[in-house]
Amino acid sequence: MISTKLTELLGIDHPVVCAPMGGVSGGRLTSAVTRAGGLGLVGVSYGDPAFIDEHVGRAAESGGVWGVGCVMFTFDERPGLWDKVLGYAPPVIALSFGNADQVRRYVAAAADAGSHVVVQVHDPEQASVAAAAGASVLVAQGAEAGGHHRSQSTLPLIPAVLEATGGELPVVAAGGFADGRGLAAALALGADGVMMGTRFAATEESLATAGFKSHLVSGRTADTVNTHAFDVVRGIGWPAGHPARSIANDFTRAWTGKDAELAARRATVEPEWAAAVARDDTTQRAMFAGEVLDLIQDIRPAAQVVHEVVADAERTLASLAGRVSTPAA
């Protein structure tokens, strides 16, 4: 058993968090991770009411320590959905991608509702803002992550966030983690747990489609690309400096780096693209995945992932203690 400030604060068994991936982390995956002793998070991302009712509702019914991940700037654009999420009384609210004002507003509202508030950050300045706003936990997300991210790498980001906040809050490392070796490395850097997305996307319980899952197993890190193309075709106004890492396909090869042209042609491109997504055409659809893709070899039950990551981390830490000697004074 690995006990950290994160496990103690939230009352969970293991310092393993399932990333709230939009359209992938549904109620079934969230509940499976929570039952296994980690923290499961439903990814509601762009705030679809029916998705919230189905998947947040399912997580709430399953009970335990679970949560909901909300993209702040998109919730500002969809009045009423924030109250819908809070209506399910999630023990944890995970917030991401907002400016300083949004961080302060959403942290305060979630804390007032009685939730632990997790805030994802990408640099020490954001960490300081989130800590001052009253966050319970910080997620230090590096550029190795799948989906949207910023530019700083995970390993130097973790100690930088700890330095900026004085180590007072639990810090969860995200971006580049898929097994126990990664958890052990994060703990060695001072983190209190890891958040994993790609590894949990490749589980039996995830909402990833069959085509998507097949590419998670067969693809490699070298196959990933940072792109804005999927945001442009969907008409989602992501702030500058937030590319999304995805498995490359015909769509990314055609449109990455051509944002202005794609935006101008969106009225004709988007309907065909949406139809391709509906039939799980992996030459066109988004398949967000991180730089851990080389480590994904199979589709497993989520509980098995949690337990194997923790057991592997314990073995790694024990092995490290045996391999590294400290000279006598």
3-class DSSP string for 141-177: ECCCCCEECCCCCHHHHHHHHHHHHCCCCCEEEECCC
Q: What is the pLDDT of residue 328?
A: 58
Distance CA 88, CA 49 (A): 13
| Burial (CB count <10 Å: 0-12, 13-18, 19+), residue 206 | buried
* Residue 300 neighbours by CB distance under 10 Å: 16
d(CA 166, CA 77): 34
DSSP letter, residue 243: -
Q: Return d(Cα 68, Cα 55) in angstroms, integer.
A: 10
Q: Is 271 exposed, middle or buried (0-12, 13-18, 19+ CB in 10 A)?
A: exposed
| pLDDT at residue 289, as a whole number | 98
Distance, first Cα to last Cα, the chain: 32
Q: β-strands 16-18, 244-247: how paired? A: unpaired
Radius of gyration of the chain (CA): 19
Q: Parallel, antiparallel, or unpaired for β 116-121 and 66-71?
A: unpaired
- Segment (H or E) for 196: strand 193-196
Domains of the chain in start order, with CATH, are 5-207+299-323 (3.20.20.70), 210-278 (no CATH)
Token couple for 214: 């097949």
Contacts of 156 (CB under 8 A, 6+ apart): none
Task: Please tell me the pTM assigned to this model.
Answer: 0.95
pLDDT of residue 326: 63
Return the pLDDT at 12.
98
pLDDT of residue 7: 98
Q: What angle do CA 61, 304, 183 make, to 5 degrees?
A: 105
Profile the chain (329 residues) by mean pLDDT over runs of 10 residues.
96 98 96 98 90 96 97 92 96 97 98 98 98 98 97 97 96 98 97 98 98 97 97 92 97 97 97 97 97 97 98 94 68
The pLDDT value recorded for residue 116 is 98
Q: Could you give the dihedral angle defined by the CA atoms of residues 197, 242, 157 and 95, in that order, rounded to the nearest 10 degrees?
A: -60
What's the confidence (pLDDT) of residue 240? 84
Which residue blocks in the chain are alpha helix, DSSP H? 5-10, 27-35, 49-51, 57-62, 72-75, 81-86, 100-112, 124-133, 154-165, 180-188, 198-201, 210-218, 229-234, 250-255, 259-264, 266-278, 302-323
CA–CA dist 135, 248 (Å, integer): 35
